[in-house]
Structure 1
Amino acid sequence: MTAPLYGLLLSGGASRRMARDKAALEYRGEAQLLRAWRLLSGICAQSFVSIRPEQAEDGLRNSLPTLPDRYEAVGPIAGILSAQDAYPDAAWLVLACDLPLLDEKTLHDLVAARAPGIDAIAFRSRFDDLPEPLCAIWEPSSHPFLKERHDAGRFCPRATLKHLRTRLLPPPGNALDNINTPDDFERVSQILERTA
């Protein structure tokens, strides 16, 4: 039997290179966190926003169901493990909150690739052909190895995907281009304006 699919929107990053909260950046008049939430919640049985404990009072984030990290701030792996601990029988569609070009078709393609005997499903990066861990499905069977790597001080989810039984899908064009700097924000804002 296939595990139920829950959504996890990662929003706990510090946004250092952007110098402001990437989740609050607006595209076409809407905060990116809310844009990503709409995509995720339209596909998953339940969805949560992954936060650091100190973000619990943030008005944007706490307007949605949140799931605070239970692990030290070690990047996305803290949010993924926290979600798996909270709902161990669920598969998690994990999504970074800084993917403004992501579309519904890309997520449907990811979900359609689920199959027995697979620990994770991810797209290949269009830049380096490596797995994209922050738009991926982590099945319940991925948890023991992810936890083992965390406990060993290995916090890279991309490296973890390389060691799991991961189904890799072709790159979905520019849908997974993330936004890290003010220049990235301007570039993507222009793309979205042209395609409005």
Structure 2
Amino acid sequence: MNCHREKKGDLCCTGMDPVKREIFLAEFLRHLDNLVYRVPLWACILIGGKSSRMGSPKHLLRGPDGRSWLERTVETLRPFVTDIIISGAGEVPRSLSTLRRLPDAAGTVGPLAGILSASGWQPMVGWILVACDMPDIQSGALEWLAGQRAAGRWGIVPRLSEDGFLEPLLACYDMRAATVFKELRTRNIMKISRVGVHPKIYNPVIPGELSGSWRNINTPEQLDEYEN
């Protein structure tokens, strides 16, 4: 049997029965996917915003159980990741004082500064990038998101509908996506949503029952609606 690429993206195996070839290719792709899942997955929670619209740090807002949004996010993430870091300045609850803190990457602003800092500090892992103002993240959403990883995908930036906006926060990035982040910084593009249009980034539609996990709260009016 001889396996070679006939053209970009196509693996051709000659000298093999067609049925056996399909079985071989399926097993080969399964092996590649397994290699993807062996890469450690970390989480980076962004708290670097000034919360100017909310008027107070959003990550310190508390839910009905008395815990801050940041504490709840960390607890939800823990079963799905190897470790968690916090990117950005600001006070954190004493219960999370042992978590590693990273400063934002110099010369960059917004979420892009956080993920550049994280991927530069730990370049050989994948990242779930999370905003601090998403209080309803479900375990099922994290399981679904992490499960979208596959060979050839540099990241998972989902959307709420087929024609909906990309959701670059609460998204999953392979270590190879670092090259996309660096390219955006080089081109002075600070909108992290531009990562999602890269051809190596996968954009699945979020299942309806999980869509609430991508809800963010930015203003007192939205907070009042959320709490009531």
Could you tell me the TM-score, scaled by structure 2's length?
A: 0.76
Bigger share in strand: 1
1:119 is aligned to 2:154: yes
Task: Point out where structure 2 has 5 or more consecutive residues left out of the alignment.
Answer: 1-34
Partner of 2:43: 7
Matches within 5 A, 1:18-167: 18-28=54-64, 29-52=66-89, 55=90, 58-60=91-93, 63=97, 64-125=99-160, 129-167=164-202
Deviation at 1:73, TM superposition (A): 4.9
What SS does the aligned partner of 1:169 have? Answer: coil
Task: Point out where structure 1 has 5 or more consecutive residues left out of the alignment.
Answer: 191-196
What SS does the aligned partner of 2:167 have? Answer: strand
Aligned residues of 1:142 and 1:164 also touching (Cα < 8 A): no
Deviation at 1:99, TM superposition (A): 0.6
Deviation at 1:110, TM superposition (A): 0.2
Deviation at 1:174, TM superposition (A): 2.2
Partner of 1:193: none
Equivalent of 1:168 in 198, 203, 217: 203
What SS does the aligned partner of 1:84 have? Answer: helix
Deviation at 1:175, TM superposition (A): 1.9
How many residues matched? 186
Deviation at 1:17, TM superposition (A): 0.6
What SS does the aligned partner of 2:211 have? Answer: coil
* CA–CA distance in structure 1, aligned partners of residues 110 and 199 of structure 2: 19
Could you tell me the TM-score, scaled by structure 1's length?
A: 0.88
* CA–CA distance in structure 2, aligned partners of residues 164 and 134 of structure 1: 18
Identity over aligned residues, as a percent? 30
Greater relative contact order (Cα < 8 A, sep 6+): 1
More moved, 121-130 vs 105-114: 121-130
Structure 1's consecutive aligned runs of 4 or more residues displaced over 6 angstroms after TM superposition are none
Aligned-residue CA RMSD in angstroms? Answer: 1.8
